[in-house]
Amino acid sequence: MKRLYLLRSARHRTVDSPLSDYHRPLTRRGEIAAMTVGKAMHKNGYIPDLVICATITRARQTLSNMWPYLMDARGKAPGLVYDYRIHMVRGDAMLQRLHEVDAEVESLLMVSIAPGISDLARLLHNGNMDTPDPFARDLPMGGLAIFDCNADDWATVAPACGTLINILN
């Protein structure tokens, strides 16, 4: 069983910014939201072994604001990889990136932007038809979806293999 945390970047400056989409920073509200998610992860014991973060500014800043709360009980930080490939891709390409993660990694946090991170959540979710679909829309800005994936290693993670544990936002 693999634990996967999917985090959409927090609120960022919008189109009125003179910066390109890639370089738009978080708003103060986004910074606070990222810290809040980090605190909630720590409080609930949601500590990843590895973080893969998109290189887009708002994803990096989201991770930066929550980073102090991602330490384990011994104060050890998770491994960290910045990956430009997960910035502008859809769910199937993000799934391919998951397949590259070492089998020894038990829990993984991916930080990216919509629509890709939400696409991956939809792709992995094995929800039943009796309940409303939590991914009918994109994850909210700063939203975290937590899945347990029925797989022994990341290379075998497949569509609909994820049991949704929680959504934090």
pTM for the predicted model, two decimal places? 0.90
- How many Å apart are CA 167 and CA 76, to the nearest integer? 25
Count the helices and strands in the chain (H runs, E runs): 4, 6
User: Partners of 81 in the beta sheet?
Assistant: 52
What is the structure's pLDDT at 131?
59
Choose among 158, 164, 159, 112: nearest CA to 133.
Answer: 164
138 versus 38: the higher-pLDDT residue is 38
Spatial CB neighbours of 139, under 8 Å, sequence gap ≥ 6: 6, 8, 114, 117, 118, 121, 145, 167, 169
Choose among 125, 91, 128: nearest CA to 110.
Answer: 91
- How many Å apart are CA 128 and CA 72, to the nearest integer? 33
Average model confidence (pLDDT) across the chain = 87
Structural domains for the chain: 2-168 (3.40.50.1240)
Choose among 162, 145, 152: nearest CA to 102.
Answer: 152
In this predicted model, what pLDDT tens digit does every residue of 97-136 receive, in sequence order?
999 999 999 999 999 988 888 889 988 888 765 556 666 6
What is the structure's pLDDT at 155?
96
- How many Å apart are CA 107 and CA 146, to the nearest integer? 10
28 versus 135: the higher-pLDDT residue is 28
